């Protein structure tokens, strides 16, 4: 049974993440379906994509599928990790991807939403970035996505507390473009998409790629890269990382010891 629902109309493609039983946890299976559809949309010349969950959902995405995070000793968010593959697929898709957000957005789900080009959320939506809750070491690309989207003090608050922030704060920070009520958000998002579709797809796809390249342009020395990787290894080699995954599986609060 498919984990997503897709539709195309007037050069606008829609992807509904529909694995509601697992709160749209970003499993390899769900991500594979999304990336296959993005490739098909590219073939079809789709000029705007809307990424959403079912209307009225309480959870847009619960983030990385925790059951697929590797045991300690292996980088849990390496280049080939499905979540990283999805982030790149959205960022490199040659047309704008609009996130239509209802419900809670958790962990890697925030990064997926923030990888989108335009974000519109209902007043009830929330955003929580949660590696600290699970003892997960965030990766360079993920931190860069957040740093490009969120002022550092707020990014630190979200990373260190792992607590959700409301859409009102996300709007104030410029993390999302609009807040629209649930009974108006569909028409508003598809109205934005219609404006995009009526403009030059070549101009838009080139500007999107230029902005992606410019926003990720950072001079990182080999020493800096190796230091970052070394710091991350301390975490994913730790007992705390193992405790984070075990506590999730056992549906209990983690007891982190700091080693």
Given the rule CB under 6 A, which residues bind ligand YXS?
22-23, 25, 59, 62-67, 104, 106-108, 129-131, 133-134, 136, 138
Q: Is 190 noted as a catalytic residue in this protein?
A: no
Nearer to ligand YXS among residue 66 and residue 125 (C-beta):
66
- Minimal distance, residue 63 CB to ligand YXS, in Å: 3
The residue number whose beta carbon is nearest to ligand YXS equals: 107
Closest distance of CB 200 from ligand YXS, Å: 36
Active site residue 138: yes
Q: How far is the CB of 106 from ligand YXS (least distance, A)?
A: 4
User: Any bridge partners for residue 48, and if so which?
Assistant: 12
Q: 159 vs 194, which CB is nearer to ligand YXS?
A: 159
Nearer to ligand YXS by Cβ, of 41 and 236: the residue is 236
Write out the DSSP string of the chain: --SEEEEEETTEEEEEE--GGGTT-B-HHHHHHHHHHHHHHHHTT--EEEEE--TT-SEEE--B-GGGSPPTTS-TT-TTSHHHHHHHHHHHSSS-EEEEE-SEEETHHHHHHHHSSEEEE-TT-EEE--HHHHT----HHHHHHHHHHS-HHHHHHHHHH---EEHHHHHHHTSSSEE--TTTHHHHHHHHHHHHHHS-HHHHHHHHHHHHHHHT-----HHHHHHHHHHHHHHHTSHHHHHHHHHHHTTS-------
Q: How far is the CB of 53 from ligand YXS (least distance, A)?
A: 12
In degrees and rounded to multiples of 5, residue 38 shows phi and psi of -60, -40
Choose the catalytic residue: 138, 190, 236, 241.
Answer: 138
Q: How far is the CB of 140 from ligand YXS (least distance, A)?
A: 13
Task: Indicate which residue of 13, 64, 107, 142 is catalytic.
Answer: 64
Q: Which is nearer to ligand YXS, 23 or 72 (CB)?
A: 23
Instruction: Choose between 58 and 227: whose C-beta lies nearer to ligand YXS.
Output: 58
Instruction: Write down how long the chain is.
Output: 259
Query: Could you list the active site residues?
Result: 64, 108, 138
């Amino acid at each position: 049974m498919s984990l997503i629902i897709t539709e195309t109309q007037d050069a606008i493609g829609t992807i509904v993440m529909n694995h509601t039983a697992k709160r749209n946890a970003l499993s390899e299976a769900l991500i594979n379906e999304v990336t296959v559809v993005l490739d098909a949309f590219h073939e079809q010349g789709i000029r705007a994509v809307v990424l959403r969950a079912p209307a009225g959902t309480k959870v847009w995405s619960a983030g990385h599928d925790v059951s697929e995070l590797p045991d300690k000793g292996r980088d849990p968010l390496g280049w080939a990790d499905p979540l990283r593959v999805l982030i790149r697929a959205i960022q490199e898709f040659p047309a704008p991807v609009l996130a239509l957000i209802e419900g809670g957005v958790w962990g890697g789900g925030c990064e997926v939403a923030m990888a989108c080009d335009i974000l519109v959320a209902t007043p009830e939506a929330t955003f929580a970035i949660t590696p600290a809750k699970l003892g997960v070491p965030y990766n360079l690309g993920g931190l860069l996505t957040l740093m490009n989207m969120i002022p550092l003090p707020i990014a630190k608050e979200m990373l260190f507390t792992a607590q959700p922030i409301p859409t009102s704060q996300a709007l104030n920070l410029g993390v999302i473009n609009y807040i629209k009520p649930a009974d108006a958000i569909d028409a508003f998002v598809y109205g934005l998409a219609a404006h995009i579709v009526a403009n030059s797809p070549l101009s838009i796809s080139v500007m999107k790629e230029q902005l992606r390249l410019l926003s990720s342009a950072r001079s990182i020395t080999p020493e800096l890269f190796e230091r970052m990787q070394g710091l991350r290894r301390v975490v994913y080699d730790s007992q705390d990382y193992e405790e984070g995954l075990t506590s999730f599986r056992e549906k209990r609060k983690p007891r982190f010891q700091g080693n």
